[in-house]
Amino acid sequence: MGASPVGWWSQRRERRRLTSRRSNPDGTMSLKDHLYELRHRLGIALLVIAAAAVFGWFWWEWRIFGLPSLGDVVIAPYCGIPVGQRLTQGDASCQLLQTQPFEVFMIRLKVGAGAGMAISAPLWLYQVWRFIAPGLYSKERKFALVFVGCASVLFIAGATLAFYVVPEGLSVLVGFGDEKFLTAFTARDYISFVMALLLIFGVSFELPLVVVMLNQVGVLTYDKLRRWRRGILFALFVFAAIATPGTDPISMIALAIALALLFELAIQIARVHDRRAARKRKEEGWDDLPDDEAAPFDYTPTSVERPDDDSVVQKEPHRVRYDDAT
């Protein structure tokens, strides 16, 4: 039998109390509570993604506030090919070729779902964060927020660069045949190529952030990165040549140069971080300590922040309800 509204509301209040840092400072939860919380957060995230996918479906042909529709944005790189080198009708319109039934329906559904997930990312990522945050300390939460924020910005920057590289890459690819060939991309192949390029550029831009993160935790030092600079740059160019789905040199060179610049920025961030760490060790005198002497750390345990008395609700002994599994 379904739960009553009163029971549902009481369960919701109990769940919020367990995930609140104020009423539950140490974030302790039972395995059953963790699973219920995971189900709750995943359900909300899926509802948000589904609603955003429906919006993306209609956005394919909507022009909101005078902005181009999603279909116009997706097909814009293909329209950058010179008119004399692509298949056009009598009015020189820019259209893709459909070769299978329901091909356009599936493309519109896939692109709309992808655009909806990108637009609603702050909402469903917030649900993921609400599930993870209770188990993190304050310093760890700040570090995670900075990491996720930088990763989002880098992914958007990579996808934006790919979007501007696609027309140039397509122009180079179709230009090899001079005027003896006419380009007529099928909608499925073109959309797959564009989405793969956007994804590869976006994910590749996360590599320098991984280097910075490894340096922050002490795995990679500035001296190692400086010695490995030439080899890593060569590996980045090889990676760009292999990762890009097309065979045009434009996208390969653009990705390789962008990764090289970001990697150099990561090296400089590591240099600043290591200098600060070395200055701190020198001020504390850690480098002059003999190996058999303990480090001068403060081993006094810190007190746990006690919540307000009015925010703590005495939890009654938990009783197993066998109808939860039904």
144/150 Cα distance (integer angstroms): 10
CA 234 to chain centre: 26
Burial annotation 28-67 (CB, 10 A radius, 16+ → b, else e): ebeeeeeebbeebbeeebeebbeebbebbbebbeeeeeee
206/297 Cα distance (integer angstroms): 35
Under a CB-based contact definition with an 8 Å cutoff, are residues 24 and 18 in contact?
yes
Query: Would you state the structure tokens that stand for residue 205, as one six-digit string?
Result: 């831009």
Percentage above 70 pLDDT, the chain: 71
Compute the Cα dihedral for 99, 101, 105, 110 and give only its sign. Answer: negative
Task: Centre a 10 Å sphere on the Cβ of residue 253 and count the other Cβ atoms it contains.
Answer: 15
- Residues paired with 186 in a beta bridge: 97
Q: What is the pLDDT of residues 26-37, one digit of tens each?
A: 556 677 777 888
Query: Would you state the structure tokens that stand for residue 5, as one six-digit string?
Result: 């509204």
Least confident interval from 106-110, 133-137, 224-228, 250-254: 133-137
Least confident interval from 6-10, 87-91, 166-170, 255-259: 6-10
147/154 Cα distance (integer angstroms): 11
Question: CA of 228: how far to CAs of 212, 235, 241, 261, 267, in Å?
Answer: 15, 10, 20, 15, 11
Taking the model in full, what pTM does it have?
Answer: 0.70
Least confident interval from 222-231, 276-285, 315-324: 315-324
What lies within 8 Å, CB to CB, of 131 at 6+ separation is 37, 38, 41
Q: What is the pLDDT of residues 252-305, one digit of tens each?
A: 888 899 999 999 999 999 999 888 888 877 776 666 666 666 666 666 665 555
Tokens 């920025």 map to which residue? 265
